[in-house]
Amino acid sequence: MKKLLALLFSIFFLSSPSVFASTTVGGYSCGQLLQYDKNNNITAKNVVINWFNGFTSGMNVAVDKNLVNKIPDHESVYYAIVKYCKDNPLSDTQEASLDIYLTLK
């Protein structure tokens, strides 16, 4: 009986498209990123690029897509995120990554 309830509970939550919760760790606010970019902070640049790569991998698994052939080079991704932040300074790199991912999709 417990297994049946656990199965039904899992199906209910996994099939509900309106349920979305996440905790994102490792991104920067756009203000931070723009300051790092202004100071030519190579470490921050690499963090942003690697974070985007991990984000994209996770999204590919979540939506069962493979965008490997659509993802531009690292420099282009970084400057697309910087541009997003310049256009949306109160946002963050997570939102920028999602915007870029949806553009590629």
Domain map (residue ranges) of the chain: 27-104
Residue 7 confidence (pLDDT): 44
- Structure-block tokens of residue 43: 């470490």
Tens digit of each residue's pLDDT, the chain (105 residues): 555 444 444 444 444 444 444 455 568 999 999 999 999 999 999 999 999 988 888 888 887 777 666 778 899 999 999 999 999 999 999 999 999 988 887
Residue 59 confidence (pLDDT): 83
Of the candidates 42, 18, 104, which has an alpha carbon nearest to the alpha carbon of residue 96? 104
How far apart are the C-alpha atoms of 30 and 86, rounded to whole Å?
A: 8
Residue 77 confidence (pLDDT): 93
- Structure-block tokens of residue 68: 């490997």
